[in-house]
């Protein structure tokens, strides 16, 4: 079946673009968007997923402010035209590729409205291909790029209007595609374990983006970091790391400390190497009250897990206290912190730090599936 994109010279297989290059039901294409004010008074996020072999799409928008996190979810049958990146009241529009985009939310019935623009301040960062196997099958095979920037516009939630124009709202957008576990999947041979960090870091003249994924024994699954300059000139041409400069680094070691009896980070030190050896050490100091649950965007959310069929069109909402959530409850093990970051050269910055810890991780002293630190049974 041909669609509008087939008019462009972008084909990767002999099929029309509506047909992806795999029959895996877990094939996906996904935007992730997030913004925050450094003092944590506002954190918001958006997500939009397309699942071509399931013929569906879903989206979410979530806002945390004044002690409550509000979320709006939507899903339905995927439109045939890939140019239509909307799901119910939530839509993402690419204004200039690798430069700026727009996130719109229009649901007056439930009290959600937003018109937000992201403008990049770094080149797009290629995080590379990530592949994992689960028994005899490939369970993860994806590529992702990320880009740091600023947000402008407004948000209205439940009668509260938040203007972003006069605030310094930092943020990140990423785009990933390929294959990853989705909702309604079959059996798995995976052990219930993940030890994952991810996040953008903003310094005055440069930015850093990184992720780290380890096995239960502490063996490296994937580690990545990129130090990139800030490029804040207006324009419409794409921004890439390869054009703006920057360098790739490797997180070689990390030392976490958790709040006693939890898996919630209290302090984290990370050492980064370049090809010559140690390059810098980062100290993350999370504010325990500045949390953003990824459950609000569908992650670990059984009611709104990604890629699950809910009918032709479904919209729903939820809200919960944002300042403190049961830290050992499984749906709360995927969180974002607003952090202060201090480099060993004395430079200070601000970061979003994603933590996703489930199952054991021997080097960190985490045992069991959700036991707290040090080893407190739930």
pLDDT > 70 in the chain, percent: 96
Average pLDDT taken over every residue of the chain: 91
Q: Which residues of 209-218 are buried (b: 16+ CB within 10 A; e: fewer)?
A: bbbbbbbbee
Band the pLDDT of 378: cuts 50, 70, 90.
very low
Res. 371: pLDDT tops 50 = yes
140-149, 227-236, 250-259: least confident range: 227-236
Band the pLDDT of 171: cuts 50, 70, 90.
very high
pLDDT of residue 135: 77
Between 287 and 156, the higher pLDDT residue: 156
Band the pLDDT of 216: cuts 50, 70, 90.
very high
CA contacts within 13 A on the Cβ side of 60: 29
| Distance in angstroms (rounded) separating the CA atoms of residues 100 and 107 | 24
Res. 10: pLDDT tops 50 = yes
12-21, 138-147, 233-242: least confident range: 233-242
Q: How many CB atoms lie within 10 A of CB 109?
A: 9
Res. 323: pLDDT tops 70 = no
Q: Once rounded to an integer, what is the mean pLDDT over residues 243-250?
A: 93
pLDDT > 90 in the chain, percent: 74
| Distance in angstroms (rounded) separating the CA atoms of residues 37 and 150 | 10
Nearest CA to 289 out of 336, 328, 243 is that of 336
Q: Once rounded to an integer, what is the mean pLDDT over residues 54-61?
A: 97
Nearest CA to 267 out of 277, 259, 275 is that of 259
Cβ–Cβ < 8 Å for 77, 312: yes
Q: Which residues of 325-358 are buried (b: 16+ CB within 10 A; e: fewer)?
A: bebbeeebbbbbbbbebbbeeeeebbbbbbbbbb
Q: Once rounded to an integer, what is the mean pLDDT over residues 307-328?
A: 85
Band the pLDDT of 377: cuts 50, 70, 90.
very low
Q: Once rounded to an integer, what is the mean pLDDT over residues 290-298?
A: 92
Query: How deeply is 117 buried, as exposed, middle or buried, from its count of CB atoms within 10 A (0-12, 13-18, 19+)?
Result: middle
23-32, 56-65, 185-194, 284-293: least confident range: 185-194
Q: Once rounded to an integer, what is the mean pLDDT over residues 203-216?
A: 95
Res. 376: pLDDT tops 50 = no
| Distance in angstroms (rounded) separating the CA atoms of residues 123 and 338 | 23
First CA to last CA across the chain, in angstroms?
52
Between 336 and 167, the higher pLDDT residue: 336
| Distance in angstroms (rounded) separating the CA atoms of residues 291 and 289 | 6
Domains assigned to the chain: 26-364 (2.40.370.10)
pLDDT of residue 167: 77
Res. 284: pLDDT tops 80 = yes
pLDDT of residue 9: 93
Cβ–Cβ < 8 Å for 88, 311: no
Res. 144: pLDDT tops 90 = yes
Contacts of residue 170, Cβ cutoff 8 Å, sequence gap at least 6? 35, 36, 37, 38, 148, 149, 150, 151, 200, 202, 350
Q: Once rounded to an integer, what is the mean pLDDT over residues 217-233?
A: 93
Res. 166: pLDDT tops 80 = no
Q: Once rounded to an integer, what is the mean pLDDT over residues 19-40?
A: 94
Q: Once rounded to an integer, what is the mean pLDDT over residues 317-321?
A: 90
Res. 330: pLDDT tops 80 = no
Q: What distance lies between CA 167 and its chain's CA centroid?
A: 22
């Amino acid at each position: 079946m041909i669609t509008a994109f087939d008019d462009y010279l972008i084909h990767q297989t002999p099929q029309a673009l509506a047909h992806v290059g795999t029959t895996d039901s877990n094939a996906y294409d996904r935007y992730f968007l997030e913004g925050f004010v450094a003092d944590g008074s506002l954190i918001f996020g958006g997500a939009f997923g397309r699942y071509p072999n399931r013929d569906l799409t879903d989206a979410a928008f979530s806002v945390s402010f004044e002690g409550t996190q509000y979320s709006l979810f939507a899903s339905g049958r995927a439109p045939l035209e890939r140019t239509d990146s909307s799901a119910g009241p939530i839509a993402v529009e690419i204004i200039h590729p690798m430069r700026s985009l727009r996130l719109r939310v229009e649901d007056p019935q439930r009290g959600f409205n937003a018109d937000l623009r992201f403008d990049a301040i770094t080149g797009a960062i290629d995080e590379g291909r990530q592949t994992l196997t689960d028994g005899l099958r490939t369970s993860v095979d994806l590529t992702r790029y990320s880009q740091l920037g600023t947000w402008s516009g407004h948000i209205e939630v439940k009668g509260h209007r938040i203007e972003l124009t006069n605030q310094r709202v930092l943020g990140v957008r990423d785009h990933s595609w390929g294959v990853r576990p989705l909702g309604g999947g079959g059996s798995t041979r995976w052990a219930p374990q993940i030890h994952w960090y991810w996040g953008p870091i903003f310094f005055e003249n440069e930015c850093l983006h990184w992720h780290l994924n380890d096995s239960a024994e502490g063996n490296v699954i994937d580690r990545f970091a990129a130090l990139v300059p800030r490029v804040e000139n207006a324009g419409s041409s794409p921004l890439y790391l390869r054009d703006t400069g920057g360098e790739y680094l490797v997180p070689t070691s990390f030392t976490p400390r958790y709040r006693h009896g939890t898996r919630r980070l209290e302090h984290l030190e990370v050492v980064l190497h370049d090809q010559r050896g140690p390059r810098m050490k980062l100290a993350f100091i999370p504010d325990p009250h500045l949390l953003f649950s990824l459950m609000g965007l569908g992650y670990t959310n059984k009611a709104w897990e990604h890629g699950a069929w809910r009918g032709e069109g479904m919209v729903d909402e939820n809200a919960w206290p944002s300042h403190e959530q049961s830290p050992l409850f499984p749906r709360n093990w995927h969180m974002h912190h607003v952090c202060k970051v201090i480099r060993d050269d004395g430079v200070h910055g601000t970061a979003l730090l994603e933590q996703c810890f489930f199952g054991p991780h021997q080097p960190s002293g985490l045992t069991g599936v959700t036991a707290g630190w040090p080893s407190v049974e739930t």
